[in-house]
Amino acid sequence: MSRPRSLSRRLRGTQDRNVWFWVFVGPFFAGLLLFTYVPIAWSLWLSFFDSVNTVTPTRFVGLRNYTDMLGDAAFVSSLRTFVVFAAFIVPTTFALSLAIAMLVTRAGRAQGFFRSVFFLPAACSYVVAALVWKMSLFSGVRSGFANTVLAGFGVEAVPWLSVTSPPWYWLVIVTARLWLQVGFFMILFIAGLQRIDPALHEAAAIDGAQGWTMFRHITLPLLRPTSVAVVFLLLVNAFQAFDEFYNILSTFDGYPPYARPPLVYLYYVALGRGQDFGHGSAGAAVLTLTIAVVAVVAGRLTRTES
């Protein structure tokens, strides 16, 4: 009759597998807990307190911070505008990434080269790209690249970053975002395309399917899992926009409320002159809930069958 294993032996597992699991995973888990989950919980806790110039809760105010933020026209306008921004940037990035992925997969031996070329911007810092767009490409002066090209066609220089109508700064921000993220999502679509059995396209071609018909009825349905993942990531990225807005527009008071993304607005509320961590935390909670609702709705619309 075998003797029952001791408690320490059971905790250590067969061949000390549990011990080695925590040796490798423990530091990462501790860092995740300390630098991610604890700050999130503390921010949620602060949202119910009057906390100005300190991260220590002082006076409990209940839901007042939330009602103040939802009653702030600038904050509500930034949320509404970025729903529109996401509605534009998500399908545009989706279509460009998929189109480039399909072209690259047909590049034959040059496929590796084009993958690297299109993916390279994804390795660039958002801050660096924003400064290049602001100071070189769309600087707003006649010597800027965009205005130099326009001058060649006899077009007057455009004040790209000026608070004018039309608001040209949106074109600057959108092109910077597309340049930075299209290559990354192209790689995801290439991975999805490579999982499609070539025999399916061959059989469809034999039946006379070509071009748009094959793409619509064969390629796109088989890319559905990848497409859903791409849509989710694009939605989250759109609502988390910060670097390009903060560095390209560079000023908070000079631009109308609809030019301020929620994260930039909350940055100035919590870390600006006011140092109002209570209202900033409440706004962050509202923004997180907005992202969750949009993601759930998108999941319902793009539900895949199990």
Domain assignment present for residue 51? The answer is: no
In this structure, is residue 112 part of a structural domain?
Answer: yes
Instruction: Encode 56-112 in three state secondary structure.
Output: CCCEECCCHHHHHHHCCHHHHHHHHHHHHHHHHHHHHHHHHHHHHHHHHHCCHHHHH
Q: Is residue 207 part of a domain?
A: no
Q: Give the per-residue pLDDT at 306.
A: 39
Is the residue at 258 inside a domain? yes
- Whether the per-residue pLDDT at 8 is higher than 80: the answer is no
Structural domain range at position 80:
65-199+222-301
Phi and psi of 59, rounded to 5°?
-125, 125
Tokens read off for 135? 């100071």
Q: Is residue 38 part of a domain?
A: no
Beta bridge partners of 49: 60
Task: Report how far residue 280's alpha carbon sits from residue 292's, in angstroms, rounded to the nearest whole number.
Answer: 18
Average pLDDT, the chain: 82
Domain count, the chain: 1
34 domain residue, yes or no: no
Residue 186 placed within a domain:
yes
Q: pLDDT-derived band of residue 214, with 50, 70 and 90 as boundaries?
A: confident
Do residues 193 and 219 make contact, with C-beta atoms less than 8 angstroms apart?
yes
- What DSSP element (H or E) covers 279? helix 277-301
In-domain check, residue 1: no
Choose between 88 and 93: higher pLDDT: 93
User: What CATH number is given to the structural domain containing 130?
Assistant: 1.10.3720.10
pLDDT per residue as tens digits for the range 140-190: 777 788 888 888 888 888 888 877 767 888 888 899 999 999 999 999 999
How sure is the predictor about 303, in pLDDT bands with cuts at 50, 70 and 90?
low
How does pLDDT run across 22-71, given as a tens digit for each residue?
Answer: 888 888 889 999 998 998 899 899 899 988 887 777 788 889 999 999 88
